[in-house]
């Protein structure tokens, strides 16, 4: 088991190194940050000063080695635009993105699994057909458009919820969170629904497919024959078996929700990491983009590790490769 | 104990009555670009400067038409060609109650070139000052190396901070709010990075008690979301209204729109220097022996082939003024004889034939697609007009990050760009876009077409050493006449019109420098200054 985890750790470091390499040189090829940032009136002395201040006067290979050297001590560079540590700028906005992603996943899972199971148990009922039709809309409508529509209907026309922004935050164990009280939650509802729509549709369809497959198997017949209540058959035995592929997908989707909530964050002016990274890409703020992608890659790796471990815990037939 | 229905109603309306005055005194503004730092000397960026102007003052301020007016300095004059004297306002207090003196200004000027890691420094404005002396607590003298007639204009960019913070505070101290002690209309209350800046009224402001008790400036970068927030009532004012929504908002009874022509001219830049230019060929695709853009008649033909009025009304939906020179009429240094040319494709073809291109040629127009209002659409229209006149034009649009890097390396032959004259007069675009490129003297910093004419340079040099405003503006007008009227160094297209939208009951006089000042928002009917 320890060997397994150590091997995964080594793979992690390799992936992080390759990511840093790709992003560094990729952004270097796009353009010159000084040209974007410096005031167009600035003369040569001013441009040279800006270039030196941002460390851009050195050759690209030297810049990369300096970056690696600093990365080992945990310093992922200083943002060109903000003048502060890139890591600090990203972590400052992480709670906002994480709480939005968490709320979206809660909505998606808590609505998706029951609806999917229902649609799988009674596939020919009107309700099931309606659920499936809605799920098609859910993953084909573009997030951008749905978000604006939600704002138009619920904020502008009905006035039930605020249109944009993040609500007041409270201090929870040192983190600033807004969804723990209703004042902040009402700001998070629309963006969370917008973000959750795609995942919800995916989970409904997956849960339904899995349910239809599992409900025909012998153990379900056997459990009913034994006299177990319907709730126990579905809620304990069936659920555990359909969860396995569901957990894999949820893990992947959780990662993508945290990393790529850019569109939702931009529409709803939610001050999260996604909006920060898209702005940084346009401004060629390389340290922030590199730091962000490294954090995201690391997070995906962690989630994948958690999913693999959960997999082996859920399904006793599966053993982690090295444990044989 | 349940309150009876009647008592409940009384309590409710009392609470509402107490709540309403507070709500009516708060102003929430939706900004279009995020603030990156609260340090007024760190990054010369419009949103940062906009917010800083609420908390800090400058020696010289600008009115809505970008003309100079007294700020922390009551008056100023040039005592001789290389010395400026500024008399400071008396009785001004910092937010912490201490007195404002000339020492604060000196400390500020010392700080500006030393701010570390600045991506766009303010040092360009302080460099001409060779020596700064406080003659007494309320008088300052600045000595310059050469005559510097735009000293007051440059000082509009320098926000004055308190001496103790100028000497010891770092950018982090400003961002955290500790060092945000200014003389301005508002005091700092809260800053959440990427989300909002909250300010509260400075009751002791020297310019009179400001209108709003609290100002919340929220950063909403998505244009449709910004409009939605205004319509929902979440914000009372927004800037940068998308052109497509202006017609609908003007008809909406809940909001009103204020516009003003800005100091930004959108123009076409041409490679008038190289003999072989990369993106100009004959219609079959073979390279030409000489670069047609070097001939002033070809440049003039390009200018005449474009229907600026159609672009302004159809593409820009009325949010643009056709341009014939570098700044709109009425700005200092503009020529009284240059007007936006009307489309004349026959004259264009005649000029092309005279220059030796009766069948025209082929060219590629490059443009950014996310920098200026409707930049790509305007470029598409230009390409079509030119093709009709005989110059087959291909269009290539790209994000501004890529565009400016390539343009800076002189990779293009013909491209669309914009220039905002931050000094509010024509020497800014003349020096940056048309003067011969010289890295030592800082001329032609954005002259990516490398246009060069000794006559224009001479006019410009003489103008810039003339301290007398009237004489200098006449010379600048003559320089514009020669550069644009005669030689067509660049092809001006239109001046951007900026617009703001406000909830009914609020009014704002649009500013030519495109800033959104909460302290200039007043209750009343709005005035549309763009039509004047």
Instruction: Give the pTM.
Output: 0.85
Band of the pLDDT at B530, cuts 50, 70, 90?
very low
Residue among B118, B401, B405 whose CB faces A53 most closely: B118
pLDDT confidence of A185, banded at 50, 70, 90? very high
Task: Kindly report, residue by residue over B408-434, the tens digit of the pLDDT.
Answer: 889 999 999 999 998 889 999 999 999
C-alpha span between A289 and A275 (Å, rounded):
11
Residue B416 forms beta bridges with which residues?
Answer: B268
Cβ of A163 within 8 Å of Cβ of B171? The answer is no
Distance CA A171, CA A187 (A): 17
Which of B14-28, B157-171, B287-301, B474-488 comes out lowest in average pLDDT? B14-28
pLDDT value for B18: 43
Question: Residue A285 CB: number of other CB atoms within 10 A?
Answer: 29
- Which among B105, B74, B78, B99 has a CA at the least distance from the CA of B87? B74
pLDDT at B12 over 80: no
Q: Is residue B341 within 8 Å of residue B324, measured between CB atoms? A: yes
The 10 Å Cβ neighbour count of residue A91 is 13
* Residue B36 to residue A82, Cβ atoms within 8 A: yes
Query: Taking a contact as any Cβ pair under 8 Å apart, which residues of chain B between 200 and 219 contact chain A?
Result: 218-219
> Is the distance from CB of B365 to CB of B377 less than 8 angstroms?
no
Tell how strand B392-398 and strand B362-368 pair up: parallel
Burial state string for B298-336 with b = 16 or more CB within 10 A and e = fewer than 16: bbbbbbbbbbbeebbeebbbbbbbbbbbbbbeebbbbbe
Cβ separation of B419 and A40 shorter than 8 Å? yes
The whole-angstrom distance between A43's CA and the closest CA on chain B is 5
Distance CA B66, CA B260 (A): 11
Average pLDDT over residues B304-326: 93
Q: Which residues of A touch B503 (CB under 8 A)?
A: none
Task: Tell me the average pLDDT across B132-154.
Answer: 92
d(CA A233, CA A210): 15
The pLDDT value recorded for residue A147 is 93
CB contact under 8 A, A164 and B196: no
DSSP collapsed to 3 states, A218-263: HHHHHHHHHCCCHHHHHHHHHHHHHHHHHHHHHHHHHHHHHHCCHH
Q: Which residue of A has its CA nearest to B231?
A: A156
| Closest Cα in chain B, distance from residue A100 (Å) | 15
B127 to chain A: nearest residue by CA? Answer: A46
Helices in B101-190 by DSSP H: which ranges? 102-111, 123-126, 151-155, 163-168, 171-176
Cα gap B152→B142, rounded to integer Å: 11
Minimum distance, in Å, between the CA of residue A48 and any CA atom of chain B:
11
Answer yes or no: are the C-beta atoms of B55 and B198 closer than 8 Å.
Answer: no
Residue B19 has pLDDT above 60, yes or no: no
3-state secondary structure of B261: strand
> How many pairs of residues across A and B have Cβ atoms under 8 Å apart?
158
Summarize pLDDT for A266-292 with one digit per residue, the tens.
899 999 988 888 888 888 888 999 999
Within 8 A of A281 by CB-CB distance, chain B residues are: 401
Q: Look at residue B494 in the predicted model and tell me its pLDDT.
A: 96
Taking the C-alpha atoms of residue A128 and residue A133, their distance in angstroms, rounded to an integer, is 9
- Please tell me which of the candidates A30, A42, A164 has its beta carbon nearest to residue B401: A30
Q: Please indicate whether, in this complex, the C-beta atoms of A164 and B228 are within 8 angstroms of each other.
A: yes
B42 touches chain A (CB under 8 A): yes
Nearest to A269 among B39, B175, B219 (CB): B219
| Confidence at residue B532, expressed as pLDDT on a 0 to 100 scale | 29
Q: Does B9 touch chain A (CB under 8 A)?
A: no
pLDDT tens-digit readout, A186-195? 999 999 999 9
Percent of chain A with pLDDT strictly greater than 70: 98
CA distance B289 to B56: 57
Which residue would you say has higher pLDDT here, B119 or B393? Answer: B393
CA-based nearest distance B345→chain A, Å: 34
Residue B251 — φ and ψ, nearest 5°? -80, -20
What is the SS3 assignment for B148? coil
| Contact flag A42-B37 (C-beta cutoff 8 Å) | no
The answer, for B419 touching chain A at a CB cutoff of 8 Å, is yes
Q: What tokens does B504 get?
A: 């009914």
pLDDT for B24 equals: 58
* 3-state helix/strand/coil string of B445-490: CCCCCCCCCHHHHHHHHHHHCCCCHHHHHHHHHHHHHHHHHHCCCE
Asked if the C-beta of B37 comes within 8 angstroms of chain A's C-beta atoms, the answer is yes
CA–CA separation, B140 vs B143, rounded Å? 10
pLDDT score at A24 = 84
pLDDT digits (tens, 9 = 90+) for A78-131: 888 888 899 989 988 889 999 999 999 999 999 999 999 999 999 899 999 999
**pLDDT for position B14:** 47
* CA distance linking residue B78 with residue A175, whole number of Å: 56
Contact A81 B43 (CB under 8 A): yes
Distance, CA of A307 to CA of A304 (rounded, Å)? 5
Contact B123 A46 (CB under 8 A): yes
Helix axes A286-314 and A239-259, enclosed angle (nearest 10)? 180
Q: Which residues of B touch A35 (CB under 8 A)?
A: 404-405, 408
| Residues B60-64, mean pLDDT to the nearest whole number | 93
Question: How far apart, in Å, are the Cα atoms of B436 and each of A15, B405, B439?
Answer: 50, 20, 10
CA-based nearest distance B221→chain A, Å? 7
Is pLDDT of B528 > 90? no
Q: CA-CA distances (angstroms) from residue B131 to A264, B121, B126, B158?
A: 52, 19, 10, 16
Question: Measured between CB atoms, does B441 come within 8 Å of chain A?
Answer: yes
Cα–Cα dist A286/A272, whole Å: 18
**B79 vs A: CB within 8 A:** no
Provide CB contacts within 8 A for B172, sequence distance 6+.
A84
Q: How far apart are CA B218 and CA B30, in angstroms?
A: 5
pLDDT of residue A319: 66
Looking at residue B531, what is its pLDDT?
35
CB–CB contact A41 B37 (8 Å): no
What is the pLDDT averaged over residues B308-318? 93
Residue ranges of B 85-144 with Cβ closer than 8 A to chain A: 116-121, 123-124
Instruction: Report the pLDDT averaged over residues B296-325.
Output: 94
DSSP string across A152-198: IIIIIIS--S-SSS----EEETTEEESTTSHHHHHHHHHHHHHHHHH
Lowest-pLDDT range of A25-34, A116-125, B364-373: A25-34
Cα separations in angstroms, A263 against A266, A269, A299, A312, B50: 5, 10, 20, 35, 26
To the nearest whole Å, the CA of B491 is away from the closest chain A CA by 19
Report the C-alpha gap between B349 and B338 in whole angstroms.
Answer: 22
* A133, pLDDT greater than 60: yes
Residue B296 C-beta-side C-alpha neighbours within 13 Å: 11
Subunit contact B36:A81, Cβ cutoff 8 A: yes
| % of chain A at pLDDT higher than 90 | 29
Give the pLDDT confidence of A209-231 residue by residue, as tens digits: 999 998 888 988 898 898 888 88
B chain contacts of residue A80, beta-carbon cutoff 8 Å? 119
Structure tokens at A225: 């024959």
Contact B332, B463 (CB under 8 A): no
Share of chain B above pLDDT 90, in %: 72
The ipTM of this complex is: 0.83
Rounded-to-integer distance, Cα A282 and Cα A58, Å: 22
pLDDT average, residue stretch A292-308: 86
**Chain B, 224-243: which have a CB under 8 Å from a chain A CB?**
224-226, 228-229, 231-234
Chain A neighbors of B123, CB-CB under 8 A: 46, 49
Taking all residues of chain B, what is their mean pLDDT, rounded to a whole number? 89
Is B401 in Cβ contact with A283 (below 8 Å)? yes
Residue whose tokens read 């500020």: B108
Based on the number of CB atoms within 10 Å of its own CB, is B518 exposed (0-12), middle (13-18) or buried (19 or more)? buried
Question: What gap in Å lies between CA A149 and CA A158, rounded to an integer?
Answer: 12
- Percentage of chain B beyond pLDDT 70 is 94
| DSSP class of B518 | G
Three-state DSSP class for residue A141: coil
Q: Is A145 exposed, middle or buried (0-12, 13-18, 19+ CB in 10 A)?
A: exposed
Contact, B197 vs B177, CB < 8 A? Answer: no
CA-atom Rg of chain A in angstroms: 24
B6: confidence class by pLDDT, cuts 50, 70, 90: low
Q: Which of A155-159, B1-5, B245-249 has the lowest mean pLDDT?
A: B1-5
Half-sphere exposure of A173 (CA within 13 A, CB side): 2
- Considering only CB atoms, A162 lies closest to which of B123, B234, B406, namely B234
Chain B residue numbers with beta carbons less than 8 Å from the beta carbon of A33 are 119
List CB contacts of B23: < 8 A, sequence separation 6 or more: none
DSSP secondary structure letter of residue B367: E
The tens digit of pLDDT for each residue in A63-81 reads 888 888 888 888 888 888 8
As a whole number, the mean pLDDT across chain A is: 87
Q: Residue A316 pLDDT > 80, yes or no? A: no
């Amino acid at each position: 088991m320890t060997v397994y985890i150590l091997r995964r750790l080594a793979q992690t470091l390799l992936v992080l190194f390759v990511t840093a390499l790709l992003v560094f040189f990729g952004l270097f090829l796009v353009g010159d940050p000084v040209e974007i940032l410096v005031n167009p009136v600035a003369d040569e002395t001013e441009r040279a000063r800006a270039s030196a201040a941002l460390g851009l006067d050195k050759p690209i290979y030297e810049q990369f080695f300096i970056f690696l050297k600093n990365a080992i001590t945990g310093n992922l560079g200083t943002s060109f635009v903000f003048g502060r540590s890139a890591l600090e700028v990203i972590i400052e906005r992480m709670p906002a993105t994480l709480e939005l992603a968490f709320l979206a996943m809660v909505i998606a899972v808590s609505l998706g699994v029951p609806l999917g199971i229902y649609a799988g148990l009674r596939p020919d009922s009107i309700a099931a057909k309606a659920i499936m039709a809605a799920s098609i809309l859910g993953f084909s409508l573009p997030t951008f458009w749905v978000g604006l529509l939600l704002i138009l209907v619920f904020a502008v026309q009905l006035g039930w919820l605020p249109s944009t922004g993040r609500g007041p935050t409270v201090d929870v164990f040192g983190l600033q969170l807004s969804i723990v009280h209703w004042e902040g939650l009402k700001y998070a509802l629309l963006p969370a629904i917008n973000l959750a729509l795609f995942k919800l549709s995916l989970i409904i369809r997956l849960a339904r497919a899995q349910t239809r497959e599992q409900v025909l198997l012998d153990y379900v017949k056997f459990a009913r024959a034994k006299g177990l209540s319907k709730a126990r058959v579905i809620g304990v035995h069936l659920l555990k078996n359909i969860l396995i592929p569901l957990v894999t997908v949820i893990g992947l989707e959780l990662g993508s929700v945290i990393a790529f909530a850019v569109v939702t964050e931009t529409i709803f002016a939610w001050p999260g990491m996604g909006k920060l990274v898209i702005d940084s890409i346009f401004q060629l703020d390389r340290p922030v983009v590199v730091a962000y992608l490294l954090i995201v890659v690391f997070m995906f790796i962690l989630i994948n590790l958690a999913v693999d471990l959960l997999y082996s815990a859920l399904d006793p037939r599966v053993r982690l490769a090295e444990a044989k | 104990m349940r309150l009876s229905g009647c008592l409940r109603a009384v309590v409710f309306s009392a609470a509402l009555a107490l709540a309403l005055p507070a709500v009516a005194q708060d102003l929430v503004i939706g900004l279009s670009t995020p603030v990156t730092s609260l340090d007024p000397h760190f990054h010369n960026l419009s949103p940062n400067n906009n917010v800083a102007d609420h908390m800090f003052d400058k020696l010289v301020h600008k009115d809505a038409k970008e003309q100079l007016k007294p700020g922390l300095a009551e008056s100023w004059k040039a005592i001789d060609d290389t010395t400026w004297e500024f008399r400071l306002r008396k009785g001004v207090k910092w937010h912490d109650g201490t007195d404002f003196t000339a020492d604060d200004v000196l400390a500020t000027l010392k700080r500006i070139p030393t701010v570390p890691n600045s991506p766009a420094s303010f040092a360009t404005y302080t460099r001409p000052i060779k020596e700064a002396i406080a003659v007494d607590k309320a008088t300052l003298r600045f000595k310059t190396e050469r005559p510097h007639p735009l000293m007051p204009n440059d000082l509009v960019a320098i926000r004055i901070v308190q001496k103790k913070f100028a000497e010891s505070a770092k950018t982090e101290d400003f961002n955290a709010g500790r060092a945000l002690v200014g003389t301005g209309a508002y005091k700092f209350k809260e800053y959440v990075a990427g989300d909002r800046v909250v300010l509260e009224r400075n009751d002791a402001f020297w310019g009179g008690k400001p209108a709003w008790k609290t100002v919340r400036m929220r950063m909403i970068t998505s244009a449709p979301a910004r409009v939605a927030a205004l319509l929902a009532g979440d914000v009372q004012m927004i800037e940068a209204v998308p052109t497509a929504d202006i017609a609908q908002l003007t008809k909406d009874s809940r909001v009103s729109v204020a516009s003003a022509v800005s100091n930004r001219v959108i123009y076409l830049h041409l490679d008038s220097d190289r003999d072989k230019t990369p993106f100009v060929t004959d219609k079959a695709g073979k390279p030409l022996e000489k670069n047609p853009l070097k001939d002033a008649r070809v440049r003039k033909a390009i200018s005449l082939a474009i229907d600026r009025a159609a672009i302004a009304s159809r593409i820009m939906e009325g949010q643009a003024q056709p341009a014939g020179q570098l700044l709109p009429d009425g700005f200092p240094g503009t020529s009284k004889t240059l007007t936006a040319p009307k489309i004349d494709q026959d004259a264009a073809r005649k000029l092309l034939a005279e220059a030796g291109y009766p069948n025209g040629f082929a060219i590629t127009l490059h443009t950014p697609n996310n920098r200026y209002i409707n930049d790509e659409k305007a470029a598409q229209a230009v390409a079509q007009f030119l093709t009709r006149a005989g110059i087959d034009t291909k269009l290539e649009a790209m994000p501004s990050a890529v565009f400016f890097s390539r343009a800076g390396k002189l990779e293009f032959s013909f491209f669309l760009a914009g220039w905002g004259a931050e000094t509010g007069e024509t020497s800014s675009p003349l020096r940056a876009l048309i003067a011969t490129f010289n890295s030592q003297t800082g001329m032609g910093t954005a002259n990516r077409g490398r246009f060069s004419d000794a006559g224009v340079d001479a006019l410009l040099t003489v103008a810039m050493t003339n301290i007398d405003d009237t004489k200098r503006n006449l010379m600048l007008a003559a320089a514009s006449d020669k550069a644009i009227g005669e030689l067509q160094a660049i092809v001006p297209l239109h001046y951007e019109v900026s617009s703001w939208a406000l909830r009914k009951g609020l009014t704002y006089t649009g500013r030519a420098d495109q800033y959104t000042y909460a302290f200039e928002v007043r209750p009343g009917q709005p005035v549309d200054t763009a039509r004047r």
